[in-house]
Amino acid sequence: MTLIFDKYQGAGNDFIIIDNRDGKQNLSSQEISTLCDRRFGIGADGLINVEKSDTADFAMKFYNSDGKTASMCGNGGRCIAKYAFDHKIAGKNMIFSADDGIHEASIINDESVKIKMIDVNGITVFDDGMWTNTGVPHFVKFVDDINKVNVKIEGRKLADDRRFAPNRTNVNFTDNVNGYRIATYERGVEGETLACGTGTVATALCINAKYGTPSPIAIQAKGGSLKVYFEKKNCEYGNIWLEGPAIKVFEGKTDGRKL
């Protein structure tokens, strides 16, 4: 079966997006992993299916590059919103469902999209950082200079820490060098990505909890700049929005079964 896809990127976080509203695509984890491989496939940090929904404009089904599902991806959510608008699946203001719940999204312009994230009901403080769940789990470590951190080695070590067993965690390193910056190790990718939406949200909330920095908080990822808006009441965060670039890279087709 020929697989028709588009590729989008949000601040360098790139995704293969497939319209599967007819339910005909049923890729295996291995096939998804191969499609995401940067040498033997299309190359991406993840694959997203646009699925039919009876309660929203569409449903989002997200897979990491290892072929396993994840409940949410912030940059992937912004990219699928832009895809849905480009393909006339939804208007400029839309609602879509993901495994972590319902999300609103708005197209700001040709290159910028914002989405509403789930509420966050608390942040766990450790001696070496903070942990929270913004749709998927994230550990945030404050460092002097992210460029001096071996993200793959240190990130993998923290992701595998027994505190986060059995499901592990994503890891974000952040500093404040001429503004807040972030470097992210993503489980499922098992390496550093140029940006991470849920990680940027987690980092912004932890920055607020640690330093009192008010909304909105701009954070520079290695692939681009993202902005996080939020409202805080006691230890809970609500009305959280993630804003940043979502851009189509190219479209194509392939026989995924032969990859």
- In eight-state DSSP terms, residue 259 is -
Beta partners for residue 78, in sequence order: none
With pLDDT > 90 as the criterion, what percentage of the chain qualifies?
A: 97
Predicted local confidence at residue 82, as pLDDT: 98
Give the mean pLDDT of 54-73: 97
Rounded CA-CA distance 226/8 in Å is: 16
CB-CB neighbours of 216 under 10 Å = 13
Amino acid identity of residue 102, one-letter, is I
The tens digit of pLDDT for each residue in 114-164 reads 999 999 999 999 999 999 999 999 999 999 999 999 999 999 999 999 999
Predicted local confidence at residue 257, as pLDDT: 53
Rounded CA-CA distance 259/257 in Å is: 6
Predicted local confidence at residue 256, as pLDDT: 52
| CATH 3.10.310.10 residue window(s) in the chain | 3-117+246-258, 124-244
pTM of the model: 0.95
Q: Among 60-74, 76-90, 158-172, 243-257, which stretch is predicted with the lowest mean pLDDT?
A: 243-257
In SS3 terms, 138-188 reads as EEEEECCCHHHCCHHHHHHHHHCCHHHCCCCCEEEEEEECCCEEEEEEECC
- Cβ atoms of residues 19 and 37 within 8 Å: no
Over 90: is that where the pLDDT of 205 sits?
yes
| pLDDT band, residue 2 (cuts 50/70/90) | confident
Catalytic residue among 36, 79, 196, 206: 196
Predicted local confidence at residue 235, as pLDDT: 86
The tens digit of pLDDT for each residue in 174-184 reads 999 999 999 99
Over 70: is that where the pLDDT of 63 sits?
yes
Over 90: is that where the pLDDT of 206 sits?
yes
Give the mean pLDDT of 51-74: 97
Rounded CA-CA distance 92/113 in Å is: 9
Predicted local confidence at residue 4, as pLDDT: 96
Catalytic residue among 73, 79, 206, 235: 73
Amino acid identity of residue 29, one-letter, is S
Nearest to 127 by CA among 113, 141, 148, 112: 141
Over 90: is that where the pLDDT of 258 sits?
no
Rounded CA-CA distance 114/99 in Å is: 19
Over 60: is that where the pLDDT of 26 sits?
yes
Homologous superfamily, domain 124-244: Diaminopimelate Epimerase; Chain A, domain 1 (3.10.310.10)
- Cβ atoms of residues 249 and 13 within 8 Å: no
> Is 206 one of the annotated active-site residues of the chain?
no
Residue carrying structure tokens 């049923």: 26
The torsion angles phi and psi of 36, rounded to 5 degrees, stand at: -80, -10
Average pLDDT of the chain is: 96
Over 60: is that where the pLDDT of 167 sits?
yes
Rounded CA-CA distance 142/57 in Å is: 38
Domain 3-117+246-258 has CATH 3.40.50.410: no
Give the mean pLDDT of 193-221: 98
- Counting beta carbons within 10 angstroms of the beta carbon of residue 128, is it exposed (0 to 12), middle (13 to 18) or buried (19 or more)? exposed
Predicted local confidence at residue 70, as pLDDT: 94
Predicted local confidence at residue 50, as pLDDT: 98
Give the mean pLDDT of 2-17: 97
Give me the count of residues in the chain.
259
CA 92, distance to chain mean position in Å, is 20
